[in-house]
C-alpha cells in the first residue's frame, strides 16, 4: 500500500514539475510576444486582437490614419482581405465615416493633398516621380442638393465657363515607376462665357494653365516630383498647349517642354496620351483609308 502511494506521489510530482516548466515556457513566450506586439501595435490594436469582434470598437486617430494610408496603397479589396484576416485596422466603412466630414467641393482638393502628404514619407525615391493627367467626362446636366456642402450644385465651376455643367474635368497625379493615382482637383465645365471670350482669346487654355501650375507646385511642396503633363488631343486640352506655346512650328521645330512651375531650372514635359493618339490614327484610317508619312 505504501509503495503504491509513493509511486503515485512521484508520478504527480513529475507531472507537476513538467507543468511548471511548460507554464514558465508559455509565460516567457507570452511576455516576448507582448513586448513584440506592444512595440509595433497601439493599445486599440492590441484590444482588437484580443476581442472576439471589432464592432463598436473605438479606434485612435493614428490608427485610422494608418488605415487610410494602407487602403490607398493596397486598394479596397486588398485592405478588406487583410482586415478580415488580421483585424488590427478599422473596417472600410469605419474609414469612410472618419473622412465623411471632409469637404470635396469643386476645385483643387487640399484635403486629398493632406492625405497624400501622409503617404509620401513611406514612398521610395523612385515612387515619388509622377505626372499630372487630366481628362473630361460627360455628365448629365442638372442641379441637385449636396448634403455635405449644404448647397445646390450643377453649375459650371471652371473659370470663364457658364451655364449648367455638361462635363467634369478631372485632374489627377499618377505614378511613373509604380502604379498609383490620386484625383487632386475637379471642375464642372460647359461653354465659355461671352464676356470672358471678348477679353481673352484663349480663356480655357489660360485658366487651365494656371490650375495645372498650382497643382504641380502643391505636389512638389509635399515631396512629390512632377515630371510631365499628359492629356488627350481634345480642343480644350489643345488650348492649354497654345497657352504654353507648345506644338510644331512652321519651320518644322517641335516644342514639347516648358519651364517647370516649381523648379524653374528644370523642364516640364507636355505629352499627348499615346492611347488616344492610336485611337486618332485608327479613326483617320477608317475615314480616309490612307496615311501620308513625312
Average pLDDT, the chain: 83
* 3-state class (DSSP) for residue 238: helix
| pTM of this structure | 0.65
* Mean pLDDT of all residues in 113-132: 90
Rounded to whole angstroms, the Cα distance separating 222 from 224 reads 6
**Each residue of 201-223: b (16+ CB within 10 Å) or e?**
ebbbbbbbbebbbebbebbeeee
Rounded to whole angstroms, the Cα distance separating 136 from 188 reads 9
Is residue 153 packed enough to be buried (19+ CB in 10 Å), middle (13-18) or exposed (0-12)? middle
Is residue 129 packed enough to be buried (19+ CB in 10 Å), middle (13-18) or exposed (0-12)? middle
Residue 285 vs residues 33, 151, 234, 258, 277: alpha-carbon distances, Å: 67, 48, 19, 32, 12
The pLDDT assigned to 200 comes to 61
Which residues face 186 on adjacent strands? 107, 170
Rounded to whole angstroms, the Cα distance separating 160 from 236 reads 13
Q: Is the pLDDT of residue 1 over 70?
A: no
Q: Which three cell numbers stand for residue 108?
A: 483643387
Instruction: Indicate the pLDDT class of residue 29, thresholds 50, 70 and 90.
Output: low
Rounded to whole angstroms, the Cα distance separating 292 from 281 reads 11
Percent of the chain clearing pLDDT 70 (strictly above): 89
The pLDDT assigned to 232 comes to 84
Which of the residue ranges 143-152, 165-174, 197-206, 209-218 would you say has the lowest mean pLDDT? 197-206
Q: Is the pLDDT of residue 38 over 70?
A: no
The per-residue pLDDT for range 215-270, each reduced to its tens digit, is 999 999 999 999 999 988 888 888 888 888 888 776 778 888 899 999 989 999 99
Which residues face 137 on adjacent strands? 168
276 vs 154, more confident: 154
The per-residue pLDDT for range 180-206, each reduced to its tens digit, is 899 999 999 887 766 655 566 788 888
Q: CA nearest 129: which of 180, 75, 78?
A: 180
Place of cell 506586439: 37
The pLDDT assigned to 216 comes to 95
Q: Which three cell numbers stand for residue 182?
A: 490620386
Amino acid at each position: 500500500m505504501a509503495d503504491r502511494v509513493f509511486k503515485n506521489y512521484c508520478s504527480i510530482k513529475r507531472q507537476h514539475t513538467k507543468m511548471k516548466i511548460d507554464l514558465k515556457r508559455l509565460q516567457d513566450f507570452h511576455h516576448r510576444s507582448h513586448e513584440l506586439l506592444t512595440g509595433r501595435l497601439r493599445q486599440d490594436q492590441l484590444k482588437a486582437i484580443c476581442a472576439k469582434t471589432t464592432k463598436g470598437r473605438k479606434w485612435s486617430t493614428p490608427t485610422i490614419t494608418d488605415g487610410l494610408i494602407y487602403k490607398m496603397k493596397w486598394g479596397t479589396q486588398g485592405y478588406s482581405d487583410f482586415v478580415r484576416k488580421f483585424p488590427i485596422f478599422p473596417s472600410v466603412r469605419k474609414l469612410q465615416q472618419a473622412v465623411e466630414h471632409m469637404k470635396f467641393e469643386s476645385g483643387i482638393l487640399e484635403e486629398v493633398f493632406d492625405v497624400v502628404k501622409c503617404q509620401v514619407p513611406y514612398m521610395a525615391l523612385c515612387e515619388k516621380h509622377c505626372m499630372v493627367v487630366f481628362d473630361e467626362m460627360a455628365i448629365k446636366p442638372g442641379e441637385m442638393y449636396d448634403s455635405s456642402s449644404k448647397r445646390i450644385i450643377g453649375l459650371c465651376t471652371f473659370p470663364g465657363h457658364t451655364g449648367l455643367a455638361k462635363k467634369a474635368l478631372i485632374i489627377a497625379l499618377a505614378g511613373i515607376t509604380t502604379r498609383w493615382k490620386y484625383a487632386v482637383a475637379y471642375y464642372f465645365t460647359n461653354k465659355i462665357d461671352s464676356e470672358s471670350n471678348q477679353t481673352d482669346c484663349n480663356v480655357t487654355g489660360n485658366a487651365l494653365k494656371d490650375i495645372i501650375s498650382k497643382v504641380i507646385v502643391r505636389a512638389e511642396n509635399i515631396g512629390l516630383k512632377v515630371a510631365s503633363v499628359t492629356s488627350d488631343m481634345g480642343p480644350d486640352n489643345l488650348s492649354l498647349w497654345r497657352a504654353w506655346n507648345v506644338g510644331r512650328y512652321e519651320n518644322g521645330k517641335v516644342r514639347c517642354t516648358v519651364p517647370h512651375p516649381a523648379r524653374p531650372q528644370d523642364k516640364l514635359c507636355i505629352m499627348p496620351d499615346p492611347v488616344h493618339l492610336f485611337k486618332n490614327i485608327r479613326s483617320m484610317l477608317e475615314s480616309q483609308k490612307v496615311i501620308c508619312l513625312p
